[in-house]
Amino acid sequence: MTIPMPDVQQFPDTRRIAIDKVGVKNVHYPIVVQDKNKSRQHTVARVNMYVELPHQFKGTHMSRFLEILNSYRDEEVTLNDMEPLLRDMQTKLGSECAHMELSFPYFIEKTAPATGARGLMSYECRFIATLREEKDFILEVSVPVTSLCPCSREISAHGAHNQRSCITVAIRAEKMIWIEDLIALMEQCGSAPVYSLLKREDEKMVTEQAYQNPMFVEDIVRSATLRLQQVEGIKWFRVECENFESIHNHSAYATLESR
């Protein structure tokens, strides 16, 4: 005879305090992402899965998050493919709102500007999806670029200080926006792009490109904004840039959100 075990999570709670997000965080899991050039790309994501918890319940069923995630292990992860997963979270966890975040490295082959040498670049990407009555989906990418200080170039007799910068852009869109296209757009906003493989001829070209195209952190954010405003289908965006200063013991930072 099997003795039924108590479901403690479903015990009542009398404090009348609902919880905005409860679930599992930092689950490392293999996923498949749509690739513009190769159809599919396999990568490993850090996954966060949350639901709202009504005030009357003591807790949620943490194991069900992993059961749901495992049931979609062979599916591509896109805006449309995430909605059934979120609906399963709502149903199986008895919540009006489901929320999921996937952070993952995405790889793109880049060609050096002078020699044509090829190398893989890694970009940090994130999908943020929420489903209540309607779905909300945000695509976020972080793109390294080179920035060269306009002030340093203007006041210095020789050279100018430069640094690596990181542009992070998040968008909501009414149509498919490829990760590759969003990255390419942001790489146009710095003084020069960053590459994984450069030979001497390439280093010369990239260094001279940066020197001829000086950018403050404010310039980068404004340049990114102008480009994002011209992309059909983007209905909201947030762009931020951090310059990891080479001669200062601090970073320079700017951010802007569309109205």
Q: What is the pLDDT of residues 93-105, one digit of tens each?
A: 999 999 999 999 9
The answer to the question of residue 2 being in a domain is no
The answer to the question of residue 224 being in a domain is yes
Report the pLDDT value the prediction gives residue 176, as an integer from 0 to 100. 92
The total number of structural domains in the chain stands at: 1
Side chain identity, residue 132: R
Q: Where are the beta strands (DSSP E) in the chain?
A: 19-35, 39-53, 98-111, 118-131, 135-148, 162-173, 192-193, 234-244, 251-257
The answer to the question of residue 6 being in a domain is no
Side chain identity, residue 255: T
Q: Are 254 and 241 in contact (CB under 8 A)?
A: yes
Q: What is the pLDDT of residues 17-64, one digit of tens each?
A: 999 999 999 999 999 899 998 888 999 999 999 999 988 888 888 999
Q: Is 204 helix (H, G, I), strand (E, B) or coil?
A: helix
Whole-structure pTM value:
0.91
Q: Which of 65-74, 78-87, 159-168, 205-214 has the lowest mean pLDDT?
A: 78-87
Report the pLDDT value the prediction gives residue 13, as an integer from 0 to 100. 76
Instruction: Give the domain range for residue 170.
Output: 12-257
The answer to the question of residue 7 being in a domain is no
What CATH number has the domain bearing residue 164? Answer: 3.10.270.10
User: What whole-number distance in Å separates Cα of residue 191 and Cα of residue 214?
Assistant: 6
User: What whole-number distance in Å separates Cα of residue 226 and Cα of residue 114?
Assistant: 28
The answer to the question of residue 3 being in a domain is no
The answer to the question of residue 1 being in a domain is no
Report the pLDDT value the prediction gives residue 78, as an integer from 0 to 100. 66
Q: What are phi and psi of 55, to 5 degrees?
A: -65, -25
Report the pLDDT value the prediction gives residue 1, as an integer from 0 to 100. 64
Q: Dihedral of CA 74/76/78/79: which sign?
A: negative
Using pLDDT thresholds of 50, 70 and 90, give the confidence band for residue 79. low
The answer to the question of residue 231 being in a domain is yes
Report the pLDDT value the prediction gives residue 57, as an integer from 0 to 100. 82
Q: What is the pLDDT of residues 199-235, one digit of tens each?
A: 999 999 999 999 999 999 999 999 999 999 999 999 9
